[in-house]
Amino acid sequence: MISNSNLINGYLCKDKEKNRIYLSHQNFNCPYCVKPGPKKIYSNLWRLGMHLKTQHQTEPRINEIIENIADLIKRGILREIKN
């Protein structure tokens, strides 16, 4: 059985550093969803990426947005939320 911690972009990822970055507990909301009421919060970068790729596939630069956020996490600018 494949656990959620090994899935990146819907595929098995063997890069443990990439798993750590994409699955670290962060709070993100979608920059493209504009609707009344509270915004949907995605608990990690992987979930936000899946939302963008399924709901906003026509928007430009989706992969670039995800890669830029991953780079900020990797450099320590954005940090994991500790409970």
- Token code pair at residue 81: 């939320």
Could you tell me the residue range of the domain that residue 60 belongs to?
15-74
Say how far residue 80 (Cα) sits from the centre of its chain.
12
**Amino acid identity, position 56:** H
Across 3-77, the runs of DSSP E, i.e. the strands, are 7-8, 11-12
Residue closest to 22 by CA, chosen among 10, 35, 34, 31:
10
Q: Number of structural domains, the chain?
A: 1
The pLDDT of residue 18 is 81
| Residue 48 forms part of a structural domain | yes
Neighbours of 17 (CB within 10 A): 9
Task: Give me 42's structure tokens.
Answer: 């995605």
Is 83 part of any domain?
A: no
pTM greater than 0.95 (yes/no): no
- Answer whether residue 8 is part of any domain: no
> pLDDT tens digits, residue range 16-34?
778 888 888 889 998 888 8
Model confidence pLDDT, tens digit, residues 71-81: 998 898 888 77
